[in-house]
Amino acid sequence: MASPNSRVSAADTEAAAWHARLGVRSVSTRTIEEFFAWRAAPANAEAYRRVEKAWAATGGLGGDPQIQAAVAEAMNRRGGLGLKARYRKTLFAFAAATAVVALGLGAWLWSDSRSLISTAVGEQRVVQLADGSTVRLDTGSTIRVRLGEDERRIELDRGQALFTVAHDPGRPFIVDAGKTEVTAVGTVFDVRRMGGAVRVTLVEGAVDVTAASGAAPSRMRAGERARVTAAGLSTRIVDTAKATSWTDGRLVFEDTPLREAVAEVNRYLEDPIALEDAVMADVPVNGVFRVGDRAAFASAAADGLGLEARAQADGTLLLSRRINN
């Protein structure tokens, strides 16, 4: 009779290795592209599909010899997928703790099933979900992920995220942001929570936006932005490249009131910018800035708006009107 190790396919072993490789806090775009290239092979795709089944039955995996064998083989491999010591340690920790981490995307799959992914102030993060969808989280954001057999549901607790949805007509992709629900099948869209409002920007495809429980959904088309408040839903046409420029690490302002521009810049800062004079709040700002670059924004305000920047004891950078002597 064959031993468990002999029954482990190369795809299973590589899937276990991918689990460890992707189970770190920061995953590069190149790594994600390499994963997609690996998963393009039918045998690898089948191993990947087994991941979702495995996570759906987490209670019965502890004694599965094939899964344990895949874990052991992945931990002992060298080269190939570049399973370095820190990845082997990550894989071992998950295996020892739950015995259900042998195949697939590791920490991201673990997050998928019991769901909480966050970014700190100034941090952006790309997360690969088990269904092939990608979520790019902006600064200070939190999502909860639940991938089921009939639907894929994401709760945006705070902040902003860009969703690139893998096509799966049998499992709609739903984002809940407070009382607002956005439903897609395969598309690219951005959702941001802004106090009591929710903003949805559609980059590709189509989505249905439901403003409140029981309300009729509104269909959005590519290039539209919807704003949902207690008063209802309104839409307008936007330049999606500029509207989602944060995904490239840029903030684009076009005749944006200074108070709004400052508030946007502050989302990425531990030590914020403050306006001393409310009279300046509505002065229009134009420019493109790197996220988190407080000095560049303050310098532009000083040169273009006649302001001066003064550092405060608490770390705040105060913008005030320049007084000419």
The correct answer on CATH 3.30.720.210 for the domain covering 115-242 is no
Greater confidence (278 vs 218) lies with 218
pLDDT of residue 102: 33
Predicted TM-score (pTM) above 0.75 = no
Of the pLDDT bands very low, low, confident and very high (cuts 50, 70, 90), residue 254 is very high
Of the pLDDT bands very low, low, confident and very high (cuts 50, 70, 90), residue 20 is low
As a whole number, mean pLDDT of residues 266-293 equals 93
In DSSP terms, which residues pair with 309 in a beta bridge?
319
* Span 31-85, pLDDT tens digits: 666 777 787 788 887 776 665 455 434 433 444 455 455 545 554 544 444 444 4
Please determine, for residue 4, whether its predicted confidence score (pLDDT) is greater than 60.
no
Q: What DSSP assignment string belongs to 100-126?
A: --SSS-THHHHHHHH--EE--TT--EE
Please determine, for residue 241, whether its predicted confidence score (pLDDT) is greater than 90.
yes
Please determine, for residue 249, whether its predicted confidence score (pLDDT) is greater than 60.
yes
- Counting residues of the chain whose pLDDT is more than 70, the rounded percentage is 70
What's the CA dihedral at 277, 280, 282, 288 to 10 degrees?
-120
Domain ranges of the chain: 4-109, 115-242, 249-321
Of the pLDDT bands very low, low, confident and very high (cuts 50, 70, 90), residue 302 is confident
CA distances from 229 to 117, 184, 197, 226 (A): 26, 21, 5, 10
Amino acid letter, 39: R
Tokens of 139: 């600064």
- Counting residues of the chain whose pLDDT is more than 90, the rounded percentage is 50
Of the pLDDT bands very low, low, confident and very high (cuts 50, 70, 90), residue 324 is low
Please determine, for residue 165, whether its predicted confidence score (pLDDT) is greater than 50.
yes
Q: Which listed CATH number (3.40.50.1100, 2.60.40.1180, 3.55.50.30, 3.40.190.10) goes with 249-321?
A: 3.55.50.30
Out of 38-47, 91-100, 187-196, 296-305, pick the least confident. Answer: 91-100
**Please, what is the average pLDDT of the chain?**
78
Task: Compute how many other C-beta atoms are within 10 angstroms of the C-beta atom of residue 240.
Answer: 19
Q: Is the dihedral of CA 43, 33, 187, 159 positive or negative?
A: positive
